[in-house]
């Protein structure tokens, strides 16, 4: 074919030629996949050409500067290796894993440190819950018998009443009316309602009482009937009330008191009820069970009913149980007895004790009280009756002498900051006798208990990493011991002061909870109690100098009850709340609302300050130029992470604590959820507070709330795991292996067994019992 003389000029530019393909026919999903593959191939070609151009430019620059470059490929150059030094704040673990430092990428506080005076520098403050010092105010002048007043002075070493005890005795000893009792924590509310009851019973049961003329009268004995009934929301509070009551009744041995609470042996309780009791302390759920199933329990002579911690009773859902109890009391009060007890009131007196006046408490007041007299330690109208009086008693504050503070600590630094605070508190022997650390859930309590009870600074962990045989032995020895609730803490102990740590939460069996609390209260050494809110109300432990809210309370009222475990009966005390930067900083507004005097400041601490005091030496604690404390805190964190990684049990325990903590974080009351927004949590930083190196998305605990679609899969996995372990165990047994090599704990089976045990305990103790937390 001859040339027609046409000249075609195409300008394609510098971009590489790429063929555009059109995709027609077939299924739409196949066409979409083909388009994505083609576009990906085009991107790779474009990147390859770009890298080639950069390599040529680098070659020209190298030749111009007399630096010959050879073997230049189209791959990008690697970043230069950065040495690990304190300046860039990185730390290399012994397993050659890079671990981020505690002091990088932390959010900065949104609020600046205020100019409030340091709490320790403030002058002396008059305690608001101390006994009255006036010589004219004594128990005898308030109507108590000389024997009971002498017993308080000589045996119990109580010289004078508190303000709430004075007003309660004045009202309840002279008038037979219902009462609403309100006072701050540590002011002696228990004695305020127990003393009038014991005094009335002593007047009824005086030995040698003569019979009244024309009537069949007898003095009371243990089988005379039940005269006083005291309801409390938790088993620990029931035990605490029972201890105080038994101390009072030592001067009146013929009056017999007893306790029935969930978790105890029901047959033993029935035996005590059959012998006879004059005063009964009970939880609502167990008492409702006995009223329905124990025929020997007769409440027809009950003349004093006390509802202690009324706000907590309503929060835990005991409203229906209380209504059943009151209905049963009203029904059996019409029962006619063959004998009559002289001096026994015909009308029942009901006393409602509540620190706050919520809507639920007002409902309980309407159900249980009739024209109540309001008794309050402060305020002008403590005995006014009517509807408008509720506004007089709504406030509830912490003791005036309580020194409060808060610390702004990033999530990554929470664990080491807690250790630093405890180390500083127990640095000198005798400065702090006992401390309580409140956590949000039982899994977190178990994790921190085992962490603080491990070998100091992870020295044992370092030895285990280099010895495989000791790793197997460690797995065998590190199995959980549910019966162990106390241990020495090498991490917190000093050369001159040995620290004992205890744990307490609602998932422990009731006898173990009782013995643990008793051991902590009677401990003569410095001790730390790790607990949930199960120990936040009603517990009176002597010499508690420091309360740490490591996890903030779920409500303002619960916060006030927590810090009320210290600064009791006029003694001094300190309270510290951990907050994270961000929205939680605004929670200080709630903390200030609980102060009795707005002029008293709440001190603020930062994480660096806490770590510097806890991990720095005493001579350099205030030297800002020295950074030794930073290296020590980082090393402690790495040792804790190695301890978590060294066994399956500790790793699962840390993961379980992390997940339970996040779930508990979302349960704050609606009014305070603006400060504690679970969506604002940095889960990666928070995982480091549990000594975890996993990404939050990969932290999965077997058997912990699985979805419906995963139930079948988990069941098959458990069977496969069990079969594999059985085969491996048989093989190792045939070749002389030990049992410890194959005895790996199965987390899923343990969780299922724990769930069944809790369900069984709940069934035995009643559905309404406080068995959580």
Nearest one of 67, 172, 103, 148 to 632, comparing CA atoms: 103
Q: Is 577 helix (H, G, I), strand (E, B) or coil?
A: strand
Q: What percentage of the chain exceeds 70 in pLDDT?
A: 65
When pLDDT is cut at 50, 70 and 90, the band that residue 228 belongs to is: very high
Q: Each residue of 300-337: pLDDT tens digit?
A: 999 999 999 888 888 888 989 999 999 999 998 877 77
Residues with Cβ within 8 Å of 243's Cβ and at least 6 positions away in sequence, in order, are: none
| Residue 143 contacts residue 169 (beta carbons within 8 Å) | yes
Residues 6+ apart with CB under 8 A from 733: none
Q: Give the pLDDT score at 740.
A: 34
3-class secondary-structure state, position 503: strand
High-pLDDT (> 90) share of the chain, %: 30
Helices 189-204 & 235-248 angle (0-180, nearest 10): 50
Question: What is the maximum alpha-carbon separation in the chain?
Answer: 151
| Two tokens, residue 119 | 């709490």
Cβ atoms of residues 381 and 388 within 8 Å:
no
What is the C-alpha to C-alpha distance for residues 10 and 272, in angstroms, rounded to an integer? 107
- Closest among 366, 384, 362, 388 to 375, alpha carbons compared: 384
Locus of tokens 């004059």: 278
| Beta bridge pairs of residue 403 | 574
- Contact residues for 68 (Cβ-Cβ < 8 A; gap 6+): 62
Distance CA 459, CA 623 (A): 28
What is the rounded average pLDDT of the residues 247-261? 92
Beta bridge mates, 438 = 531, 549
Tokens in use for 519?
Answer: 């051991």
Tokens of 576: 């510290």
pLDDT the model gives residue 107? 87
Question: Taking a C-beta distance cutoff of 8 angstroms, is the pair 434, 526 a contact?
Answer: yes
Q: Which residues pair with 279 in a beta bridge?
A: 228, 257
* Alpha-carbon dihedral 244, 250, 254, 260, rounded to 10 degrees: 30
Pairing label, strands 98-100, 486-488: unpaired
pLDDT, tens digit, 9 for 90 and up, residues 602-636:
889 999 999 999 998 644 444 555 678 888 999 99
pLDDT at 75 over 60: no
382 pLDDT tier (thresholds 50, 70, 90): very low
pLDDT at 756 over 90: no
At residue 153, the pLDDT reads: 86
**Model confidence band, residue 702 (pLDDT cutoffs 50, 70, 90):** low
Give the DSSP per-residue string, 226-259.
Answer: --EEEE-SSHHHHHHHHHHHHHHGGG-TTS-EEE
Higher pLDDT, 529 or 217: 529
Which is it for the CA torsion 589, 590, 593, 594, positive or negative? Answer: negative
CA dist., res. 720 & res. 506, Å (int): 34
Strand, helix or coil at 531? strand
The answer, yes or no, to whether residue 240 has pLDDT greater than 80, is yes
Is 4 exposed, middle or buried (CB count within 10 Å of its CB: 0-12, 13-18, 19+)?
exposed
pLDDT tens track for 138-189: 788 888 888 898 898 888 888 888 888 888 988 888 778 899 988 766 678 8
State how far the Cα of 168 lies from the Cα of 383, in Å rounded to an integer: 10
Average pLDDT (566-574) is 78
Q: What is the mean pLDDT of the chain?
A: 75
Which uninterrupted H or E stretch holds 433? none
pLDDT interval class at 461 (50, 70, 90) = very low
Query: Quick one: pLDDT at residue 691?
Result: 93
- CA 427 and chain centroid, separation: 25
**What integer pLDDT is reported at residue 738 of this predicted model?**
36
Report the pLDDT averaged over residues 508-522: 88
Q: Is the pLDDT of residue 383 over 70?
A: no
Q: Which comes out higher in pLDDT, residue 17 or 190?
A: 190
- Pull the structure tokens for residue 649: 């049990």
3-state secondary structure of 705: coil
- By 3-state DSSP, what share of the chain in percent is helix, strand and coil, each rounded to 5? 45, 10, 45
Q: Which of 192-201, 457-466, 476-485, 569-578 has the lowest mean pLDDT?
A: 457-466
pLDDT band at 368 (very low <50, low <70, confident <90, very high): confident
Give kind and range of the element (H or E) at residue 274. helix 266-275
Least confident of 28-32, 193-197, 586-590: 28-32
- Residue 481: phi, psi to the nearest 5? -115, 100
What pLDDT is recorded for position 97?
53
Strand order across the 257-260 sheet: 257-260, 279-282, 228-231, 304-307, 349-353, 179-182, 373-376
* Alpha helix stretches (DSSP H) within 600-671: 607-615, 628-645, 648-665
Beta bridge partners, 351, equal: 179, 306
Asked whether residue 743 carries a pLDDT value surpassing 60, the answer given is no
Do the beta carbons of residue 652 and residue 639 sit within 8 Å?
no
> Given a cut of 70, is residue 360 above it in pLDDT?
yes
Alpha-carbon distance of 459 to 673, in angstroms, equals: 41
List all residues 6 or more positions away from 634 whose beta carbon is below 8 Å from its beta carbon: 91, 101, 102, 103
Q: How confident is the model at residue 281 (pLDDT cuts 50, 70, 90)?
A: very high
Residues 6+ apart with CB under 8 A from 759: none
- Here the tokens at position 667 are 């349960």
- In what order do the strands lie in the sheet containing 603-606? 486-488, 500-504, 527-531, 434-438, 544-549, 573-579, 402-408, 603-606
Residue 96 structure tokens? 């050659």
Residue 695 phi/psi, 5° resolution? -75, 145
What is the separation of C-alpha 93 from the centre of its chain, rounded to a whole number of angstroms? 32
Mean pLDDT of the region 253-258: 92
* Residue in the structure block whose two tokens are 């349960």: 667
SS3 string, 335-372, reads: CCCCCECCCCCCCCEEEEECCCCCHHHHHHHHHHCCCC
Whether pLDDT at 409 is above 80: yes
The number of beta carbons lying within 10 Å of the beta carbon of residue 509 is 13
Residues in the chain: 773
Count Cβ atoms below 10 Å from residue 389 Cβ, excluding itself. 17
Hey, is 429 helix, strand or coil? coil
Higher pLDDT: 70 or 5? It is 5
Task: For residue 654, name the pLDDT band (cuts at 50, 70, 90).
Answer: very high
Q: CA angle, 529 as apex, 523 and 534 as ends, to 5°?
A: 120
Span 365-392, mean pLDDT?
A: 61
Q: Are 664 and 441 in contact (CB under 8 A)?
A: yes
Mean pLDDT of 229-235: 92
1-9 own/partner pairs: CB under 8 Å, 24+ apart = none
> Does pLDDT of 358 surpass 90?
no
Q: Find the mean pLDDT for residues 503-518.
A: 89
Most confident option among 41-45, 115-119, 210-214, 216-220: 41-45
Round to whole Å and give the CA distance between 148 and 168.
16
pLDDT over threshold 80, residue 66? no
For residue 723, give both structure tokens.
């079969």
**Residue 690 contacts residue 658 (beta carbons within 8 Å):** yes
């Amino acid at each position: 074919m001859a040339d027609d003389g046409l000249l075609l000029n195409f300008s394609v530019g510098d971009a590489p030629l790429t063929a555009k393909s059109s995709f027609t026919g077939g299924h739409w999903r196949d066409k979409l996949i083909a388009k994505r593959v083609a576009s990906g191939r085009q991107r790779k070609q474009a990147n390859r050409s770009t890298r080639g151009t950069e390599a040529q430019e680098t070659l020209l620059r190298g030749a111009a500067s007399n630096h010959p470059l050879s073997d230049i490929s189209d791959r990008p150059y690697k970043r230069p290796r950065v040495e690990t030094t304190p300046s860039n704040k990185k730390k290399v673990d012994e397993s050659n894993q890079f671990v981020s430092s505690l002091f990088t990428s932390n959010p900065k506080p949104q609020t600046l440190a205020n100019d409030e005076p340091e709490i320790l520098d403030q002058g002396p403050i008059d305690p608001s819950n101390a006994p009255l010092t006036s010589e004219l105010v004594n128990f005898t002048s308030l109507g108590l018998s000389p024997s009971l007043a002498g017993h308080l002075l000589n045996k119990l070493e109580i010289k004078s009443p508190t303000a709430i005890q004075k007003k309660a005795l004045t009202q309840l000893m002279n008038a037979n009316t219902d009462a609403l009792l309100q006072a701050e924590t540590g002011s002696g509310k228990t004695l305020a309602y127990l003393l009038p009851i014991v005094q009335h019973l002593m007047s009824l049961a005086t030995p040698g009482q003569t019979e009244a003329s024309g009537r069949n009268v007898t003095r009371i004995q243990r089988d005379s009937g039940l005269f006083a009934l005291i309801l409390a929301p938790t088993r620990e509070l029931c035990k605490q009330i029972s201890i105080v009551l038994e101390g009072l009744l030592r001067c009146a041995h013929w009056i017999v008191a007893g306790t029935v609470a969930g978790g105890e042996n029901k047959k033993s309780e029935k035996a005590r009820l059959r012998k006879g009791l004059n005063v009964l302390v009970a939880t609502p759920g167990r008492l409702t069970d006995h009223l329905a199933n124990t025929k020997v329990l007769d409440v027809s002579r009950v003349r004093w009913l006390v509802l202690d911690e009324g706000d907590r009773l309503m929060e835990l859902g005991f409203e229906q149980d209380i209504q059943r109890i009151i209905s049963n009391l009203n029904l059996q009060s019409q029962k006619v007895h063959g004998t009559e007890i002289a001096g026994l009131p015909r009308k029942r007196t009901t006393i409602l004790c509540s620190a706050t006046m919520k809507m639920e408490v007002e409902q309980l007041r309407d159900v249980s009280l009739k024209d109540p007299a309001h008794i309050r330690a402060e305020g002008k109208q403590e005995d006014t009756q009517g509807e408008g009086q509720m506004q007089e008693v709504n406030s509830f504050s912490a003791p005036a002498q309580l020194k409060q503070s808060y610390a702004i600590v990033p999530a990554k630094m929470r664990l080491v900051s807690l250790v630093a605070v405890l180390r500083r508190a127990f640095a000198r022997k005798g400065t702090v006798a006992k401390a309580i650390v409140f956590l949000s859930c039982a899994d977190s309590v178990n994790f921190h208990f085992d962490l603080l009870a491990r070998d100091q600074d992870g020295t044992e962990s370092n030895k285990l990493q280099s010895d495989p045989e000791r790793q197997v032995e460690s797995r065998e020895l590190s199995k959980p011991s549910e019966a162990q609730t106390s241990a020495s803490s090498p991490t917190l102990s000093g050369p001159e002061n040995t620290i004992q740590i205890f744990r307490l939460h609602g998932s422990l069996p009731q006898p173990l909870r009782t013995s643990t609390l008793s051991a902590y209260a009677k401990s003569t050494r410095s001790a730390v109690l790790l607990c949930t809110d199960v120990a936040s109300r009603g517990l009176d432990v002597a010499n508690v100098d420091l309360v740490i809210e490591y996890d903030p309370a779920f409500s303002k009222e619960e916060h006030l009850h927590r810090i009320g475990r210290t600064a009791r009966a006029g003694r001094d005390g300190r309270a510290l709340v951990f907050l994270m930067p961000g929205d939680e900083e605004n929670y200080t507004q709630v903390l200030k609302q609980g102060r009795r005097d707005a002029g008293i400041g709440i001190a603020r601490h930062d994480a660096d300050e806490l770590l510097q005091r806890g991990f720095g030496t005493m001579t350099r604690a205030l030297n800002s130029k020295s950074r030794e404390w930073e290296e020590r805190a980082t090393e402690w964190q790495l040792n804790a992470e190695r301890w978590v990684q060294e066994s399956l049990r500790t790793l699962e325990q840390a993961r379980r604590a992390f997940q339970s903590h996040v779930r508990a974080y979302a349960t704050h009351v609606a009014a305070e959820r603006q400060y504690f927004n679970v969506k604002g949590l940095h889960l990666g930083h928070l995982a480091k507070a549990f000594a975890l190196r996993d990404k939050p998305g990969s932290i999965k605990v077997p058997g912990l709330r699985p979805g419906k679609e995963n139930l079948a899969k988990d069941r098959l996995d458990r069977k496969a795991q069990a079969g594999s372990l059985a085969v491996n165990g048989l093989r190792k047994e045939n070749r002389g292996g030990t049992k410890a090599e194959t005895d790996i704990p199965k987390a899923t089976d343990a969780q299922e067994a724990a769930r069944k045990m809790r369900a069984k305990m709940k069934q035995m103790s009643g559905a309404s019992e406080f068995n959580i937390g």
